[in-house]
């Protein structure tokens, strides 16, 4: 079937956490409307850009866009941004059932509130290998009161001004600034979260459940910066899917969700039915300055306004990386549902991510190149062989020799700006090792969730320290590695990913932390471009594609 949406995009006034600011919205809704379709359907989204002074694009995170790479929605990689006043129609197949989301992918528009759920159901002829009575979407985000313009300008300024830690954490676009500013160990201030009557717009999100029933939560993180830990107070959760792919089920009481990832979990409403409970998120991986984000798990027929009297749930301490790593290693593919990876790869690239000072600007770089967009979309530059449109020097497959990841980068190894493009042989098997390092601050290394467009990859393993090709490859899990589109690299560690370059197009591979990608922490992979048909004219018109769109 064909599922059609007609969207008007503009800013609106909103108060997701009870503090008013400008939010990017679709049809006056925040979060943007949910897309729901059946596996194999074609989704058509007609976008009209009503933002007076800003272009826009939409990325359908987790959709593979086979045959339609120009509708992947990455500004200046797969298309020209949609100018104010313009109409653009995305048309793509939803190829796999599961929990996904979409978001703006131009500047920092995701941080500005431009995101929504994308749920793909199984056709009636297929059955999930698990049962449940109902389901709820749980979109997680962190939230700033400064506009994305102010945030972007700060990141590009000398001296550098970081966006800082978020003011609030949001569940389904709802949070509570100040009202939830109480220590996690004491009950909420009386009156907190009860301003429903006076300001219904900032009431907490409510998850209604019938006692005794089992629910599927479709958890997704679009967080700008934070690694989040999700808790359903007093309830065990069974994790059954990650990024829309089946995993070997395992039980948890709290779950780390990195930006760009989704998890499907099952839980049974089997606690004392006279009470309601907290659904909560806390920051992990960064020293948190933001209070717990809270929603209400409502046991029907209790009122939604019956607030738990218990303190906000507490997550493992932010710098307990060992717990995060052991959770990540527990995530394995469900055998019989996901194919094992090819036994060997044709090419391995090792991408060292570093924080650098380039002429006073604080940036992130990959193998010493900090990504900057060219005004000509990469896909068009390759397809039409447009001279001078992109950087034709291949980026290095390996970091510089003997790089010490345990100390800040030496000033003598200063990075440069560029637009690296890795071109793979169509159909080849590629290993990407993402290597983490010390930032410019001594004794500091941060988590980065890496997301690949157009493909899922096998997560072959995680390691600590500098990746050593002579021995670490022997430790790869080639039996049941999970298949996903986003995987975290932990502080001072590496993560090994394998994928098949079988989807003609140009695909960003980047850190899903919004300020980090903005600061250059990304690159582009491409394969089989010459196999593509003519690019749709609506995707062209900018940079050196002027005239090509006629």
Ligand X SMILES: O=C1O[C@H]([C@@H](O)CO)C(O)=C1O
512 in contact with ligand X (CB under 6 A): no
- Which stretch in 30-38, 126-134, 310-318, 515-523 sits in contact with ligand X by CB under 6 A? 515-523
Signed CA dihedral, 368, 398, 513, 445: sign only: negative
CA neighbor of 232 nearest in space, from 249, 214, 259: 214
Figure out which of the listed residues 17, 72, 142, 446 binds ligand X, where binding follows CB under 6 A. Answer: 446
Figure out which of the listed residues 149, 162, 250, 337 binds ligand X, where binding follows CB under 6 A. Answer: 162
Nearer to ligand X, 376 or 439 (CB): 439
- Which stretch in 55-63, 70-78, 387-395, 511-519 sits in contact with ligand X by CB under 6 A? 511-519
Shortest spacing between CB 325 and ligand X, in angstroms? 19
Q: Is 276 helix (H, G, I), strand (E, B) or coil?
A: coil
Cβ atoms within 10 Å of 14's Cβ, excluding its own: 20
- Which stretch in 263-271, 389-397, 438-446, 481-489 sits in contact with ligand X by CB under 6 A? 438-446
CA neighbor of 129 nearest in space, from 340, 339, 335, 341: 335
Upstream peptide bond of 332 is cis (omega within 30 degrees of 0): no
Nearer to ligand X, 399 or 515 (CB): 515
Nearer to ligand X, 99 or 445 (CB): 445
Nearer to ligand X, 307 or 362 (CB): 362
Residues 6+ apart with CB under 8 A from 47: 7, 9, 56, 58, 82, 87, 88, 89, 90
Nearer to ligand X, 345 or 439 (CB): 439
- Which stretch in 102-110, 187-195, 270-278, 512-520 sits in contact with ligand X by CB under 6 A? 512-520
Figure out which of the listed residues 111, 254, 439, 445 binds ligand X, where binding follows CB under 6 A. Answer: 439
- Which stretch in 132-140, 167-175, 455-463, 513-521 sits in contact with ligand X by CB under 6 A? 513-521
516 in contact with ligand X (CB under 6 A): yes
282 in contact with ligand X (CB under 6 A): no
What distance in Å separates the CA atoms of residue 465 and residue 424, rounded to the nearest whole number?
Answer: 27
Shortest spacing between CB 408 and ligand X, in angstroms? 10
What distance in Å separates the CA atoms of residue 63 and residue 485, rounded to the nearest whole number?
Answer: 10
Shortest spacing between CB 155 and ligand X, in angstroms? 8
Nearer to ligand X, 362 or 529 (CB): 362
Cβ burial of 469 (10 Å; 0-12, 13-18, 19+) is exposed
CA neighbor of 62 nearest in space, from 75, 77, 72, 76: 72
Residues in region 362-421 near ligand X by CB under 6 A: 362
Tokens of 529: 């471009």
Residue nearest to ligand X (CB): 162
Shortest spacing between CB 521 and ligand X, in angstroms? 8
- The DSSP string of 325-362 is HHHHHH--B-BTTBPPPPS--SEEEEEEEEEEEETTEE
Residues 6+ apart with CB under 8 A from 124: none
Point out which residues bind ligand X (CB under 6 A).
162, 355, 362, 439, 441, 446, 515-516, 519
């Amino acid at each position: 079937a064909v599922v059609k949406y007609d969207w008007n995009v503009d800013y609106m006034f909103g108060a997701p956490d009870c503090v008013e600011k400008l939010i990017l919205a679709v049809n006056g809704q925040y979060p943007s409307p949910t897309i729901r379709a059946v596996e194999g359907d074609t989704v058509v989204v007609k976008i009209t850009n009503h933002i007076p002074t800003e272009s826009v694009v939409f990325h359908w995170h987790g959709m593979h866009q086979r045959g339609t790479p120009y509708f992947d929605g990455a500004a200046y990689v797969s298309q020209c941004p949609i100018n104010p006043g313009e109409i653009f129609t995305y048309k793509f197949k939803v190829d796999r059932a599961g929990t996904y989301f979409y978001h703006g992918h131009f500047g920092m528009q995701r941080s500005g509130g431009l995101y929504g759920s994308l749920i793909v159901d199984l056709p009636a002829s297929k059955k999930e290998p698990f049962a449940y009575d109902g389901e709820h979407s749980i979109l997680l985000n962190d939230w700033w009161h400064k506009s994305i313009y102010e945030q972007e300008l700060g990141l590009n300024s000398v001296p550098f001004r970081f966006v800082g830690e978020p003011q609030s954490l949001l569940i389904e676009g709802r949070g509570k600034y100040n009202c939830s500013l109480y220590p996690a160990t004491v009950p909420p201030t009386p009156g907190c979260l009860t301003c429903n009557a006076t300001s219904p717009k900032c009431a907490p999100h409510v998850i209604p459940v019938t006692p005794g029933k089992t629910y599927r939560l479709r958890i997704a993180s679009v967080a700008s910066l934070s690694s989040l830990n999700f808790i359903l107070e007093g309830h065990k959760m069974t994790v059954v899917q990650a990024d829309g792919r089946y995993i070997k089920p395992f039980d948890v009481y709290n779950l780390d969700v990195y930006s760009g990832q989704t998890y499907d979990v099952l839980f049974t409403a089997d606690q004392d039915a006279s009470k309601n409970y907290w659904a909560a998120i806390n920051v992990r991986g960064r020293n948190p300055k933001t209070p717990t984000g809270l929603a209400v798990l409502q046991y029907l027929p209790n009122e939604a306004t019956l607030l738990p009297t218990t303190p906000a749930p507490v997550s493992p301490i932010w710098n307990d990386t060992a717990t995060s790593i052991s959770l990540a290693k527990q995530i394995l593919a469900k055998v019989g549902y996901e194919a094992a990876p090819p036994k060997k790869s044709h090419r391995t690239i090792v991408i060292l991510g570093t924080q650098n000072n380039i002429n006073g600007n604080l940036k992130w770089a990959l193998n010493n190149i900090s990504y900057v967009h060219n005004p000509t979309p990469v896909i068009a530059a390759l397809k039409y062989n447009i001279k001078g449109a992109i950087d034709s020097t291949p980026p290095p497959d390996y970091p510089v020799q003997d790089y010490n990841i345990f100390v800040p980068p030496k000033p003598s190894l200063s990075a440069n700006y560029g637009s690296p493009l890795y071109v793979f042989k169509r159909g080849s098997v590629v290993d990407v090792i993402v290597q983490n390092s010390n930032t410019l601050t001594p004794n500091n290394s941060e988590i980065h969730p890496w997301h690949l467009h157009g493909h899922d990859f096998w997560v072959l393993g995680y390691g600590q320290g500098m990746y050593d090709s002579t021995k670490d490859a022997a430790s790869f899990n080639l039996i049941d590695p999970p298949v996903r589109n986003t995987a975290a690299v932990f502080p001072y560690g590496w993560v090994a990913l394998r994928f098949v370059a079988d989807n003609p197009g140009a695909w960003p591979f980047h850190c899903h932390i919004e300020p980090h990608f903005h600061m250059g922490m990304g690159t582009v992979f491409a394969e089989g471009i010459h196999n593509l048909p003519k690019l749709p004219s609506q995707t062209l018109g900018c940079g050196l594609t002027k005239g090509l769109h006629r």
